[in-house]
Structure 1
Amino acid sequence: MSAFHAVDAASDYPEDEPERAGFAAAADELSNAYERKTSLCAPFVGALPVAGAAVSILGETFGTETVCASDKQAARLDELQIDIGEGPCWQARSTRRPVLTGDVQRGSQSSWPVFSEAIRNDGVGALFAFPLIVGSLVIGAVDLYAREPGSLTETQVEGAEGLAAIAARQVLRKALSESDRYGLDDPETDARLSRRVVHQATGMVLAQLGLSASDALIVIRGHAFSAGRSVREVATEIVERRLDLSSNNPEI
Protein backbone atom coordinates (compact mmCIF):
# COMPACT_ATOMS: atom_id res chain seq x y z
CA MET A 1 0.00 0.00 0.00
CA SER A 2 1.20 3.52 -0.81
CA ALA A 3 2.48 5.79 1.94
CA PHE A 4 -0.58 7.90 1.14
CA HIS A 5 -4.03 6.46 1.73
CA ALA A 6 -7.48 7.51 0.61
CA VAL A 7 -8.75 10.53 2.52
CA ASP A 8 -11.99 8.75 3.42
CA ALA A 9 -10.21 5.83 5.11
CA ALA A 10 -11.61 5.15 8.58
CA SER A 11 -9.38 6.72 11.20
CA ASP A 12 -10.40 4.36 14.00
CA TYR A 13 -9.17 1.10 12.47
CA PRO A 14 -6.64 -0.84 14.58
CA GLU A 15 -3.95 -0.27 11.95
CA ASP A 16 -4.08 3.44 12.79
CA GLU A 17 -2.75 2.81 16.30
CA PRO A 18 0.95 2.74 15.30
CA GLU A 19 0.41 5.99 13.40
CA ARG A 20 -1.20 7.63 16.42
CA ALA A 21 1.68 6.39 18.57
CA GLY A 22 4.03 8.04 16.09
CA PHE A 23 2.20 11.34 16.47
CA ALA A 24 2.38 11.05 20.26
CA ALA A 25 6.16 10.55 20.08
CA ALA A 26 6.50 13.48 17.68
CA ALA A 27 4.38 15.67 19.98
CA ASP A 28 6.63 14.84 22.92
CA GLU A 29 9.73 15.64 20.86
CA LEU A 30 8.28 18.97 19.74
CA SER A 31 7.14 19.91 23.25
CA ASN A 32 10.74 19.78 24.43
CA ALA A 33 12.39 21.20 21.31
CA TYR A 34 13.02 24.67 22.73
CA GLU A 35 14.67 23.45 25.93
CA ARG A 36 16.64 20.69 24.20
CA LYS A 37 17.46 22.84 21.15
CA THR A 38 16.34 20.08 18.80
CA SER A 39 14.79 20.35 15.35
CA LEU A 40 11.20 21.51 14.93
CA CYS A 41 11.10 19.95 11.45
CA ALA A 42 12.25 16.38 12.16
CA PRO A 43 9.12 15.33 14.14
CA PHE A 44 6.88 16.23 11.17
CA VAL A 45 8.97 14.18 8.76
CA GLY A 46 9.08 11.28 11.19
CA ALA A 47 5.34 11.17 11.83
CA LEU A 48 3.98 11.93 8.35
CA PRO A 49 4.46 10.38 4.88
CA VAL A 50 6.40 13.38 3.53
CA ALA A 51 9.94 13.88 2.24
CA GLY A 52 10.67 17.16 4.00
CA ALA A 53 9.45 20.00 6.17
CA ALA A 54 10.16 23.67 6.84
CA VAL A 55 8.94 25.97 9.60
CA SER A 56 8.78 29.70 8.99
CA ILE A 57 7.80 32.90 10.76
CA LEU A 58 5.67 35.13 8.53
CA GLY A 59 4.64 38.71 9.26
CA GLU A 60 5.78 42.03 10.60
CA THR A 61 5.54 41.31 14.34
CA PHE A 62 8.39 38.80 14.58
CA GLY A 63 9.82 39.24 11.09
CA THR A 64 9.77 36.80 8.19
CA GLU A 65 12.31 34.00 8.08
CA THR A 66 12.81 30.26 7.79
CA VAL A 67 13.17 28.86 11.30
CA CYS A 68 14.25 25.39 10.17
CA ALA A 69 14.25 23.12 7.14
CA SER A 70 14.79 19.37 7.07
CA ASP A 71 16.66 19.39 3.75
CA LYS A 72 17.74 21.57 0.83
CA GLN A 73 14.50 21.07 -1.09
CA ALA A 74 12.38 22.08 1.91
CA ALA A 75 14.59 25.13 2.41
CA ARG A 76 14.27 26.12 -1.26
CA LEU A 77 10.47 25.78 -1.21
CA ASP A 78 10.22 27.92 1.91
CA GLU A 79 12.67 30.55 0.70
CA LEU A 80 10.86 30.81 -2.65
CA GLN A 81 7.58 31.52 -0.90
CA ILE A 82 9.18 34.18 1.28
CA ASP A 83 10.85 35.81 -1.74
CA ILE A 84 7.77 35.66 -4.00
CA GLY A 85 5.28 36.51 -1.27
CA GLU A 86 2.84 33.75 -2.17
CA GLY A 87 2.47 30.00 -1.76
CA PRO A 88 0.78 27.47 0.51
CA CYS A 89 2.43 28.81 3.68
CA TRP A 90 1.07 32.32 3.06
CA GLN A 91 -2.34 30.87 2.23
CA ALA A 92 -2.37 28.80 5.43
CA ARG A 93 -1.40 31.87 7.41
CA SER A 94 -4.06 34.12 5.90
CA THR A 95 -6.90 31.56 6.08
CA ARG A 96 -5.81 30.03 9.41
CA ARG A 97 -6.54 26.63 7.86
CA PRO A 98 -4.48 23.76 6.40
CA VAL A 99 -3.67 23.90 2.70
CA LEU A 100 -3.69 20.40 1.22
CA THR A 101 -2.47 20.18 -2.36
CA GLY A 102 -2.23 16.53 -3.36
CA ASP A 103 -1.01 17.13 -6.90
CA VAL A 104 1.07 20.26 -7.37
CA GLN A 105 1.88 19.59 -11.02
CA ARG A 106 -1.73 19.25 -12.21
CA GLY A 107 -2.46 22.75 -13.50
CA SER A 108 -1.55 26.11 -12.00
CA GLN A 109 -2.66 26.80 -8.44
CA SER A 110 -4.97 29.79 -8.66
CA SER A 111 -4.03 31.05 -5.19
CA TRP A 112 -0.28 31.02 -5.93
CA PRO A 113 0.35 30.82 -9.71
CA VAL A 114 3.86 32.33 -9.66
CA PHE A 115 5.09 29.95 -6.98
CA SER A 116 3.53 26.88 -8.64
CA GLU A 117 5.21 27.79 -11.92
CA ALA A 118 8.55 28.31 -10.15
CA ILE A 119 8.54 24.76 -8.76
CA ARG A 120 7.12 23.02 -11.83
CA ASN A 121 10.39 21.21 -12.55
CA ASP A 122 11.48 20.71 -8.95
CA GLY A 123 10.21 17.17 -8.54
CA VAL A 124 7.56 18.09 -5.98
CA GLY A 125 4.39 16.02 -6.13
CA ALA A 126 2.36 17.27 -3.16
CA LEU A 127 2.47 20.21 -0.76
CA PHE A 128 0.80 20.64 2.60
CA ALA A 129 0.90 23.72 4.81
CA PHE A 130 -0.40 24.20 8.34
CA PRO A 131 -0.68 27.57 10.11
CA LEU A 132 1.24 28.19 13.32
CA ILE A 133 -1.39 29.61 15.69
CA VAL A 134 -1.07 30.49 19.37
CA GLY A 135 -4.29 31.88 20.78
CA SER A 136 -5.24 34.82 18.58
CA LEU A 137 -1.76 35.10 17.04
CA VAL A 138 -0.93 33.60 13.66
CA ILE A 139 2.86 33.41 13.71
CA GLY A 140 3.72 31.57 10.50
CA ALA A 141 3.37 28.14 8.94
CA VAL A 142 4.90 24.72 8.53
CA ASP A 143 5.38 23.47 4.96
CA LEU A 144 5.52 19.78 4.09
CA TYR A 145 6.37 18.34 0.69
CA ALA A 146 6.20 14.89 -0.90
CA ARG A 147 7.95 13.81 -4.08
CA GLU A 148 4.90 11.96 -5.43
CA PRO A 149 1.28 13.17 -5.67
CA GLY A 150 -1.00 11.93 -2.90
CA SER A 151 -3.35 12.90 -0.09
CA LEU A 152 -3.15 12.85 3.68
CA THR A 153 -5.72 10.85 5.63
CA GLU A 154 -8.00 12.55 8.11
CA THR A 155 -5.91 11.08 10.93
CA GLN A 156 -2.74 12.50 9.38
CA VAL A 157 -4.27 15.95 8.92
CA GLU A 158 -5.49 15.99 12.53
CA GLY A 159 -2.10 14.80 13.72
CA ALA A 160 -0.28 17.45 11.69
CA GLU A 161 -2.56 20.17 13.06
CA GLY A 162 -1.76 19.03 16.59
CA LEU A 163 1.97 19.07 15.89
CA ALA A 164 1.69 22.53 14.31
CA ALA A 165 -0.01 23.85 17.45
CA ILE A 166 2.89 22.61 19.58
CA ALA A 167 5.48 23.92 17.13
CA ALA A 168 3.79 27.33 17.17
CA ARG A 169 4.35 27.67 20.91
CA GLN A 170 7.99 26.64 20.52
CA VAL A 171 8.50 29.23 17.76
CA LEU A 172 6.86 31.91 19.90
CA ARG A 173 9.12 31.02 22.83
CA LYS A 174 12.15 31.44 20.59
CA ALA A 175 10.91 34.75 19.17
CA LEU A 176 10.19 36.17 22.62
CA SER A 177 13.57 34.94 23.86
CA GLU A 178 15.22 36.89 21.04
CA SER A 179 13.23 40.01 21.97
CA ASP A 180 14.34 39.63 25.60
CA ARG A 181 17.97 39.32 24.51
CA TYR A 182 17.85 42.65 22.72
CA GLY A 183 15.88 44.42 25.43
CA LEU A 184 12.64 44.64 23.47
CA ASP A 185 10.51 43.11 26.20
CA ASP A 186 10.79 42.85 29.97
CA PRO A 187 8.23 40.32 31.23
CA GLU A 188 9.86 40.02 34.67
CA THR A 189 9.38 43.72 35.36
CA ASP A 190 5.77 43.52 34.22
CA ALA A 191 5.16 40.49 36.41
CA ARG A 192 6.65 42.17 39.48
CA LEU A 193 4.45 45.22 39.01
CA SER A 194 1.34 43.11 39.48
CA ARG A 195 2.11 39.42 39.95
CA ARG A 196 -1.43 38.68 41.09
CA VAL A 197 -3.15 40.05 37.98
CA VAL A 198 -0.68 38.23 35.69
CA HIS A 199 -1.31 35.02 37.62
CA GLN A 200 -5.09 35.46 37.31
CA ALA A 201 -4.87 36.21 33.61
CA THR A 202 -2.64 33.18 33.06
CA GLY A 203 -5.22 30.99 34.76
CA MET A 204 -8.01 32.36 32.58
CA VAL A 205 -6.05 31.85 29.36
CA LEU A 206 -5.00 28.31 30.22
CA ALA A 207 -8.67 27.49 30.89
CA GLN A 208 -9.78 29.09 27.61
CA LEU A 209 -7.15 27.44 25.42
CA GLY A 210 -6.38 24.23 27.30
CA LEU A 211 -2.70 25.11 27.74
CA SER A 212 -0.19 24.67 30.53
CA ALA A 213 0.49 27.67 32.77
CA SER A 214 3.84 28.35 31.09
CA ASP A 215 2.30 28.23 27.61
CA ALA A 216 -0.60 30.45 28.69
CA LEU A 217 1.89 33.06 29.88
CA ILE A 218 3.69 32.76 26.53
CA VAL A 219 0.37 33.56 24.79
CA ILE A 220 -0.11 36.66 26.97
CA ARG A 221 3.46 37.80 26.34
CA GLY A 222 3.13 37.19 22.61
CA HIS A 223 -0.04 39.27 22.45
CA ALA A 224 1.56 42.06 24.47
CA PHE A 225 4.66 42.10 22.27
CA SER A 226 2.68 42.13 19.02
CA ALA A 227 0.45 44.94 20.29
CA GLY A 228 3.35 47.00 21.68
CA ARG A 229 1.92 46.90 25.19
CA SER A 230 3.09 45.65 28.57
CA VAL A 231 2.25 42.21 29.94
CA ARG A 232 0.60 43.90 32.93
CA GLU A 233 -1.74 45.94 30.69
CA VAL A 234 -2.79 42.91 28.69
CA ALA A 235 -3.25 40.80 31.85
CA THR A 236 -5.47 43.48 33.39
CA GLU A 237 -7.73 43.54 30.33
CA ILE A 238 -7.99 39.74 30.38
CA VAL A 239 -8.96 39.66 34.06
CA GLU A 240 -11.51 42.43 33.50
CA ARG A 241 -12.87 40.40 30.55
CA ARG A 242 -12.20 43.19 28.09
CA LEU A 243 -9.83 40.96 26.11
CA ASP A 244 -10.23 37.34 24.99
CA LEU A 245 -7.16 35.65 23.52
CA SER A 246 -8.99 32.65 22.14
CA SER A 247 -8.13 31.62 18.58
CA ASN A 248 -11.61 32.69 17.44
CA ASN A 249 -10.64 36.33 17.79
CA PRO A 250 -9.33 38.28 14.80
CA GLU A 251 -5.61 38.17 14.16
CA ILE A 252 -3.61 41.04 15.58
Structure 2
Amino acid sequence: MSKDAFAAAALALTAAAENGSNMCLSFLNALPVTHAAISTLGAPFGSETICASDSQAARLEELQIDFGAGPCWDALRTRAPVVDADLSEPTESAWSLLREAIRDTGILSLYSFPLAIGELNVGALDLYATTRAALNLPLIARASALADLAATPVARQVIRRLPHLDTDDTNPATYSRREVHQATGMIIAQMRVNADDAQALLRAHAFTLGRPVREVAADVVARRIKFTRDDVVDRD
Protein backbone atom coordinates (compact mmCIF):
# COMPACT_ATOMS: atom_id res chain seq x y z
CA MET A 1 0.00 0.00 0.00
CA SER A 2 1.53 3.32 -1.08
CA LYS A 3 1.48 6.47 1.04
CA ASP A 4 -1.27 7.82 -1.21
CA ALA A 5 -3.33 4.68 -0.71
CA PHE A 6 -2.82 4.89 3.05
CA ALA A 7 -3.92 8.54 3.07
CA ALA A 8 -6.97 7.68 0.98
CA ALA A 9 -7.86 4.86 3.37
CA ALA A 10 -7.50 7.18 6.36
CA LEU A 11 -9.78 9.75 4.71
CA ALA A 12 -12.32 7.09 3.80
CA LEU A 13 -12.28 5.78 7.37
CA THR A 14 -12.88 9.27 8.77
CA ALA A 15 -15.69 9.91 6.27
CA ALA A 16 -17.32 6.57 7.08
CA ALA A 17 -17.27 7.40 10.78
CA GLU A 18 -18.86 10.80 10.15
CA ASN A 19 -21.57 9.73 7.70
CA GLY A 20 -22.45 6.46 9.39
CA SER A 21 -21.34 4.21 6.53
CA ASN A 22 -19.47 0.94 7.00
CA MET A 23 -16.02 1.64 8.45
CA CYS A 24 -14.87 -1.90 7.70
CA LEU A 25 -14.95 -1.28 3.96
CA SER A 26 -12.13 1.26 4.34
CA PHE A 27 -9.82 -1.56 5.40
CA LEU A 28 -11.09 -3.94 2.76
CA ASN A 29 -10.50 -1.41 -0.02
CA ALA A 30 -7.00 -0.51 1.17
CA LEU A 31 -5.50 -3.88 2.09
CA PRO A 32 -5.17 -7.28 0.33
CA VAL A 33 -7.62 -9.00 2.68
CA THR A 34 -10.95 -10.68 2.01
CA HIS A 35 -13.00 -9.79 5.09
CA ALA A 36 -12.88 -7.16 7.84
CA ALA A 37 -14.80 -6.75 11.08
CA ILE A 38 -14.70 -4.52 14.14
CA SER A 39 -16.04 -5.51 17.56
CA THR A 40 -16.13 -4.08 21.03
CA LEU A 41 -14.86 -6.59 23.57
CA GLY A 42 -15.51 -6.89 27.28
CA ALA A 43 -15.71 -3.92 29.63
CA PRO A 44 -16.73 -1.18 29.43
CA PHE A 45 -18.79 -1.44 26.22
CA GLY A 46 -19.63 -5.14 26.16
CA SER A 47 -18.92 -7.58 23.33
CA GLU A 48 -20.64 -6.76 20.06
CA THR A 49 -19.81 -6.66 16.36
CA ILE A 50 -19.92 -3.00 15.31
CA CYS A 51 -19.34 -3.48 11.60
CA ALA A 52 -18.44 -6.21 9.14
CA SER A 53 -17.51 -6.05 5.49
CA ASP A 54 -19.89 -8.91 4.65
CA SER A 55 -21.92 -11.71 6.19
CA GLN A 56 -18.98 -14.11 6.40
CA ALA A 57 -16.92 -11.52 8.28
CA ALA A 58 -19.82 -11.13 10.70
CA ARG A 59 -19.99 -14.90 11.24
CA LEU A 60 -16.23 -15.13 11.81
CA GLU A 61 -16.41 -12.31 14.31
CA GLU A 62 -19.27 -13.94 16.17
CA LEU A 63 -17.17 -17.10 16.46
CA GLN A 64 -14.52 -15.18 18.39
CA ILE A 65 -17.06 -13.40 20.58
CA ASP A 66 -18.93 -16.63 21.36
CA PHE A 67 -15.68 -18.47 22.04
CA GLY A 68 -14.57 -15.75 24.46
CA ALA A 69 -10.98 -16.12 23.31
CA GLY A 70 -8.99 -15.76 20.14
CA PRO A 71 -6.75 -13.32 18.30
CA CYS A 72 -8.99 -10.30 18.82
CA TRP A 73 -9.05 -10.88 22.59
CA ASP A 74 -5.29 -11.43 22.63
CA ALA A 75 -4.70 -8.25 20.61
CA LEU A 76 -6.68 -6.12 23.05
CA ARG A 77 -5.12 -7.79 26.09
CA THR A 78 -1.54 -7.29 24.84
CA ARG A 79 -2.22 -3.98 23.07
CA ALA A 80 -0.34 -5.34 20.05
CA PRO A 81 -1.24 -6.88 16.68
CA VAL A 82 -1.77 -10.63 16.64
CA VAL A 83 -0.75 -12.27 13.38
CA ASP A 84 -1.61 -15.79 12.26
CA ALA A 85 -0.20 -15.74 8.73
CA ASP A 86 -0.82 -19.40 7.93
CA LEU A 87 -3.73 -21.16 9.58
CA SER A 88 -2.86 -24.37 7.72
CA GLU A 89 0.23 -24.73 9.90
CA PRO A 90 -0.44 -26.53 13.22
CA THR A 91 0.38 -24.55 16.33
CA GLU A 92 -0.22 -24.72 20.05
CA SER A 93 -2.53 -21.99 21.26
CA ALA A 94 -5.31 -21.42 23.76
CA TRP A 95 -7.76 -21.14 20.89
CA SER A 96 -6.75 -24.08 18.68
CA LEU A 97 -10.35 -25.25 18.19
CA LEU A 98 -11.42 -21.76 17.16
CA ARG A 99 -8.47 -21.59 14.79
CA GLU A 100 -9.61 -24.80 13.13
CA ALA A 101 -13.18 -23.51 12.84
CA ILE A 102 -11.96 -20.33 11.15
CA ARG A 103 -9.70 -22.30 8.81
CA ASP A 104 -12.61 -24.55 7.85
CA THR A 105 -14.38 -21.51 6.36
CA GLY A 106 -11.54 -21.04 3.85
CA ILE A 107 -9.59 -18.40 5.77
CA LEU A 108 -5.82 -19.00 5.63
CA SER A 109 -4.51 -15.93 7.45
CA LEU A 110 -5.90 -13.49 9.96
CA TYR A 111 -4.70 -10.32 11.66
CA SER A 112 -6.13 -8.72 14.80
CA PHE A 113 -5.40 -5.17 15.93
CA PRO A 114 -6.34 -3.60 19.26
CA LEU A 115 -8.69 -0.64 19.41
CA ALA A 116 -7.89 1.42 22.48
CA ILE A 117 -7.78 5.06 23.52
CA GLY A 118 -5.03 5.31 26.11
CA GLU A 119 -6.18 3.14 29.03
CA LEU A 120 -9.69 2.78 27.65
CA ASN A 121 -10.28 -0.61 26.01
CA VAL A 122 -12.60 -0.38 23.01
CA GLY A 123 -12.28 -3.60 21.04
CA ALA A 124 -10.44 -4.99 18.03
CA LEU A 125 -10.20 -4.92 14.27
CA ASP A 126 -9.99 -8.32 12.59
CA LEU A 127 -8.78 -8.78 9.02
CA TYR A 128 -9.24 -12.16 7.31
CA ALA A 129 -7.68 -13.40 4.06
CA THR A 130 -8.09 -16.49 1.91
CA THR A 131 -4.36 -16.45 1.09
CA ARG A 132 -1.41 -17.22 3.33
CA ALA A 133 0.62 -14.28 4.63
CA ALA A 134 -1.64 -11.73 2.97
CA LEU A 135 0.02 -8.84 4.82
CA ASN A 136 3.75 -8.21 5.05
CA LEU A 137 5.33 -6.23 7.89
CA PRO A 138 4.90 -2.76 6.31
CA LEU A 139 1.23 -3.50 5.58
CA ILE A 140 0.70 -4.76 9.12
CA ALA A 141 2.19 -1.51 10.45
CA ARG A 142 -0.12 0.57 8.25
CA ALA A 143 -3.15 -1.52 9.10
CA SER A 144 -2.29 -0.98 12.77
CA ALA A 145 -2.15 2.78 12.19
CA LEU A 146 -5.56 2.69 10.52
CA ALA A 147 -6.92 0.68 13.44
CA ASP A 148 -5.67 3.40 15.79
CA LEU A 149 -7.63 5.93 13.75
CA ALA A 150 -10.76 3.81 14.08
CA ALA A 151 -10.71 3.53 17.87
CA THR A 152 -12.29 6.90 18.68
CA PRO A 153 -15.01 6.75 16.00
CA VAL A 154 -15.97 3.27 17.19
CA ALA A 155 -16.16 4.47 20.79
CA ARG A 156 -18.27 7.44 19.69
CA GLN A 157 -20.65 5.17 17.81
CA VAL A 158 -21.14 2.95 20.85
CA ILE A 159 -21.47 5.87 23.26
CA ARG A 160 -24.32 7.34 21.21
CA ARG A 161 -26.36 4.26 22.12
CA LEU A 162 -25.56 4.37 25.83
CA PRO A 163 -28.05 5.66 28.41
CA HIS A 164 -27.58 9.33 29.30
CA LEU A 165 -24.99 9.57 32.05
CA ASP A 166 -25.91 12.92 33.60
CA THR A 167 -28.17 11.82 36.44
CA ASP A 168 -28.75 15.17 38.13
CA ASP A 169 -29.79 17.61 35.40
CA THR A 170 -32.59 18.96 37.62
CA ASN A 171 -30.13 20.45 40.10
CA PRO A 172 -28.11 23.20 38.41
CA ALA A 173 -26.18 23.85 41.60
CA THR A 174 -24.48 20.45 41.47
CA TYR A 175 -22.23 21.14 38.50
CA SER A 176 -22.50 23.78 35.81
CA ARG A 177 -22.69 22.61 32.20
CA ARG A 178 -19.98 25.22 31.66
CA GLU A 179 -17.54 22.76 33.21
CA VAL A 180 -18.39 20.19 30.55
CA HIS A 181 -17.52 22.73 27.85
CA GLN A 182 -14.36 23.73 29.68
CA ALA A 183 -13.34 20.10 30.12
CA THR A 184 -14.01 19.45 26.43
CA GLY A 185 -11.70 22.33 25.53
CA MET A 186 -8.98 20.99 27.79
CA ILE A 187 -9.24 17.51 26.28
CA ILE A 188 -9.02 19.04 22.78
CA ALA A 189 -5.76 20.71 23.79
CA GLN A 190 -4.38 17.66 25.58
CA MET A 191 -5.28 15.06 22.96
CA ARG A 192 -5.31 17.27 19.82
CA VAL A 193 -8.71 15.97 18.74
CA ASN A 194 -11.86 17.73 17.58
CA ALA A 195 -14.74 18.71 19.87
CA ASP A 196 -16.88 15.65 19.06
CA ASP A 197 -14.03 13.26 19.81
CA ALA A 198 -13.17 15.15 23.01
CA GLN A 199 -16.77 14.83 24.22
CA ALA A 200 -16.72 11.13 23.31
CA LEU A 201 -13.57 10.61 25.38
CA LEU A 202 -15.12 12.45 28.32
CA ARG A 203 -18.30 10.38 28.15
CA ALA A 204 -16.37 7.14 27.68
CA HIS A 205 -14.29 7.77 30.78
CA ALA A 206 -17.36 8.73 32.79
CA PHE A 207 -19.06 5.53 31.64
CA THR A 208 -16.01 3.48 32.62
CA LEU A 209 -16.04 4.99 36.11
CA GLY A 210 -19.82 4.86 36.45
CA ARG A 211 -19.91 8.58 37.24
CA PRO A 212 -21.92 11.50 35.78
CA VAL A 213 -20.22 13.34 32.93
CA ARG A 214 -20.41 16.65 34.78
CA GLU A 215 -18.66 15.15 37.80
CA VAL A 216 -15.79 13.87 35.67
CA ALA A 217 -15.69 17.20 33.82
CA ALA A 218 -15.21 18.98 37.13
CA ASP A 219 -12.21 16.76 37.84
CA VAL A 220 -10.76 17.55 34.40
CA VAL A 221 -11.17 21.30 34.95
CA ALA A 222 -9.60 20.99 38.41
CA ARG A 223 -6.73 19.03 36.79
CA ARG A 224 -7.39 15.98 38.94
CA ILE A 225 -7.86 14.07 35.67
CA LYS A 226 -5.65 14.64 32.66
CA PHE A 227 -6.01 13.09 29.21
CA THR A 228 -2.82 12.24 27.34
CA ARG A 229 -2.09 10.20 24.23
CA ASP A 230 0.07 7.72 26.11
CA ASP A 231 -2.12 7.39 29.17
CA VAL A 232 -5.62 8.76 28.85
CA VAL A 233 -6.16 9.49 32.50
CA ASP A 234 -3.60 10.64 35.04
CA ARG A 235 -4.84 11.40 38.53
CA ASP A 236 -2.84 13.93 40.52
TM-score range relative to shorter protein: 0.7 to 0.9
Q: Distance in 2 between matches of 1:214 and 1:120?
A: 40
Q: Which moved more, 1:200-209 or 1:81-90?
A: 200-209
Residues 1:34 and 1:151: Cα distance change in structure 2 (over 3 Å): closer
What residue identity is the alignment partner of 1:145?
Answer: Y
Match of 2:144 in 1: 161
The answer for unaligned runs of 5 or more in structure 2 is none
Match of 1:197 in 2: 179
Please give the per-residue CA displacement for 1:34-76, whole angstroms capped at 9, x wherever unaligned. Answer: 4322101100001111111011111142221111211233122
Residues 1:225 and 1:151: Cα distance change in structure 2 (over 3 Å): same
Q: Which moved more, 1:40-49 or 1:113-122?
A: 113-122
Q: Distance in 2 between matches of 1:20 and 1:158?
A: 12
Alignment of 1:94-243 (within 5 A): 94-150=77-133, 152-179=135-162, 183-186=163-166, 189=169, 193-243=175-225
Instruction: For residue 122 of structure 1, give the secondary structure of its aligned residue in structure 2.
Output: coil
What residue identity is the alignment partner of 1:241?
Answer: R
The answer for unaligned runs of 5 or more in structure 1 is 1-15
Q: Distance in 1 between matches of 2:83 and 2:214?
A: 40
Q: Distance in 2 between matches of 1:36 and 1:204?
A: 26
Offset of 1:225 from its aligned partner? 1.3
Contact 2:118 2:232 in 1 (8 A): no
Contact 1:136 1:247 in 2 (8 A): no
Alignment of 1:23-102 (within 5 A): 23-102=6-85
| Structure with more relative contact order (C-alpha pairs < 8 Å, separation 6 or more) | 1
Offset of 1:174 from its aligned partner? 1.6
Q: Distance in 1 between matches of 2:95 and 2:117?
A: 25
Instruction: For residue 33 of structure 1, give the secondary structure of its aligned residue in structure 2.
Output: helix
Q: Distance in 2 between matches of 1:109 and 1:250?
A: 35
Residues 1:165 and 1:72: Cα distance change in structure 2 (over 3 Å): same
Offset of 1:21 from its aligned partner? 1.5
Say how many residue pairs are matched.
230
Q: Distance in 1 between matches of 2:125 and 2:70?
A: 12
Please give the per-residue CA displacement for 1:80-114, whole angstroms capped at 9, x wherever unaligned. Answer: 10111111111111111111221122113524223
Residues 1:219 and 1:187: Cα distance change in structure 2 (over 3 Å): farther
**Over the residues paired in the alignment, what is the CA RMSD in angstroms?**
2.6
Residues 1:230 and 1:151: Cα distance change in structure 2 (over 3 Å): same
Offset of 1:149 from its aligned partner? 1.0
Q: Distance in 2 between matches of 1:163 and 1:206?
A: 21
Q: Distance in 2 between matches of 1:78 and 1:163?
A: 19
TM-score, structure 1 length as denominator?
Answer: 0.81
Q: Distance in 1 between matches of 2:37 and 2:149?
A: 15
Q: Distance in 2 between matches of 1:156 and 1:206?
A: 30
Contact 2:165 2:211 in 1 (8 A): no
